[in-house]
Amino acid sequence: MVTGKSIKFTYTKKDVILYNLGLGAKRTDLSLVFEDSPSFEVLPSFGVITYNDGSLSQRLAPLLPNFSYKRLLHGEQYLEIRKFPIPVSGALVSYPAGIELIDKGKAAVVVTAFRTVDASTGEDIFYNEQTVFVRGSGGFGGASKGRDRGPATAANQPPPRAPDASIIEKTSEDQAAIYRLSGDYNPLHIDPETARAGGFDRPILHGLCVFGIAAKHVYSTYGPFRNIKVRFAGITIPGQTLKTEMWKAGATVIFQTTVVETGKLAIAAAAVELIGEPARL
C-alpha cells in the first residue's frame, strides 16, 4: 500500500490569501484577502493542499504495473476539518497511509489517507482521503471492490426536488495560473502543449480548485462543516462558469457543481456534514 515519509508544510497569512485568491476571492472579500481583518480566515478546503509535495508518482510507481503519471486521474476527495477555527499560519506535518488498492482490470484505484497535525503540539488539524484512478495499471490480482467507509464513500444522490440554494460564479481565465501557486504545479493546468498531449484543447482548471470553489459556495451558504466529500465528474476550463446547487437535510448538505456553458457535471456525489446542526432523520 501507499506509505512514505512524513510531509512538512509551513504556511503564513500570505499563503492563506494566495489560496483564497486562487478560489476566486475578490479585493472586497476582506475576511479572505486582508490579513488584518478581524474576521480573516482560512477557507476549509485549504486542508487539501497541506500534503501535496509532488511525491505521488514515487509513491505509486512501485505498487502498480505499467504506471504512468499521464494516465492518472483524481477520482474522489474526502476531507475532515478537525480544528476550528483553522489556524491562519503554522507548521504542519502530514502522515500518509495506504487504505485500499483496488484492481479494476484495465485500471487501478488507489486510496491514500493523510493525517495532518500541528508540528509542535501534535494536535489534529486535517484528515484527507485521496482516491486516484490509474488507467492501464490493473490486472494485478487485487480486490475488485472497495469497502464502505461511511461519509468518505457515500453516494450522495441529490433528492428529487428543487435545490434549497444555488450559487453561480464565473471563473477567471487566469484562475489556474493563480491556483497552481498554492502547490499543484502540474503543467496540464498551464502549458498548452502538455494539455494537448493529455487530450485537451487547452489547459484545464485543477480539480481541487473546482472542489475549493464548490466548498466555498457551501461554506458561504450554510457555515462551517466538519467534513466534505466529492467525486470529480468532469473538467472545467478557466473562464467557464460554475453553478453549485445545494440540498439541505439536517446536518447534511448534498451538492453538485455544473459547468454552465456545457451543462456537464464537474463535481458529483458530494456532501458536507455541518457543525452545530441536528443529525439528518
Active site residues: 184, 189, 204, 207
Tracing cell 480539480 back to the chain, one arrives at 207
Can you tell me the distance from the alpha carbon of 178 to that of 13, in angstroms, rounded to the nearest whole number? Answer: 16
Residue type at 24 in one-letter notation: G
With beta carbons less than 8 A apart as the criterion, state whether 173 and 179 touch.
Answer: no
Burial class from Cβ neighbours inside 10 Å (0-12, 13-18, 19+) for residue 178 reads middle
Coil, helix or strand for 118? strand
Pairing mode of beta strands 90-103, 124-135: unpaired
With beta carbons less than 8 A apart as the criterion, state whether 255 and 268 touch.
Answer: no
CA atoms lying within 13 Å on the CB side of residue 109: 17
Buried b (16+ CB within 10 A) or exposed e, 243-252: bbbbbbeebb
Residues in the chain: 281
Distances from the Cα of 28 to the Cαs of 16, 32, 59, in angstroms?
16, 9, 41
Give the residue among 239, 233, 237 at the shortest CA–CA distance from 264: 233
Write the DSSP symbol of residue 45.
G
Tracing cell 492501464 back to the chain, one arrives at 136
